[in-house]
Amino acid sequence: MYKALVKPLLFQLDAERAHHLIFDNLKRAYRLPGTAALLRGLYDFQHPALTREVFGLTFRNPVGLAAGFDKNAVLTDELAALGFGFVEIGTVTPRPQPGNVQPRLFRLPQDEALVNRMGFNNEGAGAAAQRLRQRRNRQTIIGGNIGKNKDTPNEQAAQDYVACVEALHEVVDYFVVNVSSPNTPGLRQLQEREPLIQLLQQVQERNQSLPQPRPLLLKIAPDLTDSQLDDILLIARETNLSGLVATNTTISRAELRTTADHVTSLGAGGLSGRPLRARATEVIRYLHQRAGDALPIIGAGGIHSPQDAKEKLAAGAALVQLYTGFIYEGPALVGRINRALVG
């Protein structure tokens, strides 16, 4: 139904407007008696064999929703009813910010891809925390993807990440430090060895000082070289990270079916979707071959089918996340993957 009826209508709208329309209607429908049970009946496939123990947390299944979809923790209960084993909110910053100028989200249907330059648009960590305190579903793991405000200098970035940890600590199950988005000017410079060590050490120090410290993960770009990935592994050990998220969006525009002129006309931004699948899997495999199970990986990038998810897991991912595939394939994708994993 989604691909035959809903998707064609949504794809006639501006991508960001369609996103808000989905949010508004899902939120409204979920309030109606019986809707939660209906959604679970349609989409929420669960099986004991799907349970995963990762980062010291129990995930009811290994298929999660990546950060960027529910930035402000508006739909965590509704998304759980669609069958996700975990939902990662954000990227959240300490203070609210509008993000980049619109339009800033674009579809590449020929490639089943998206280009976005959202720029960490969100209502701030405090607003997200308040919503998470009110959620009903406590079984689904919630991750908090955290970043810095655009006007915060890199030299003071750690203060922003620490502020997010303090605001969200009581309401999320794990944190992801996002320094790999291409849409905040200068942010990716924090992936360099020395700035990254200093940032993670400060964030980890504050995290460990709080009651029940949360697993702390790092989200990395697919555009890193092998030597940079080796540095990431060393940094992960040095700062006692619990795991990695591989990968974020890419700045590459290689081998797209969409015409180069059209892609260029869209401007800068991170590319996600099918074109990212192979590179994301390469990064996962490289990291896992060197770190093994000692550093669990959440695999993300180009998962549009059960086979894509299995590929990430076979490469070494402990869990997987959807975003662009969820938009192109619809909510049934979550259950299809989980059913395929059982067998």
Active-site pick, 180, 181, 242, 272: 181
Amino acid letter, residue 234: L
H helix or E strand, kind and range, residue 159: helix 157-168
CA 313, CA 232: separation in Å to the nearest integer? Answer: 20
Q: How far is CA 178 from the centre of its chain?
A: 10
CA 328, CA 192: separation in Å to the nearest integer? Answer: 34
CA 178, CA 194: separation in Å to the nearest integer? Answer: 16
CA 101, CA 118: separation in Å to the nearest integer? Answer: 8
Write the CA distances from 36 to 17, 56, 77, integer angstroms.
24, 29, 9
Q: Which of 80, 69, 167 is nearest to 122 (CA)?
A: 69
Reply yes or no on whether 181 is catalytic: yes
CA 244, CA 174: separation in Å to the nearest integer? Answer: 12
Q: Spell out the residues 6+ positions from residue 249 whose beta carbon is closer than 8 angstroms to its own.
A: 116, 181, 182, 221, 222, 269, 270, 271, 272, 276
Q: Spell out the residues 6+ positions from residue 208 whose beta carbon is closer than 8 angstroms to its own.
A: none
- Please identify every residue annotated as catalytic: 181
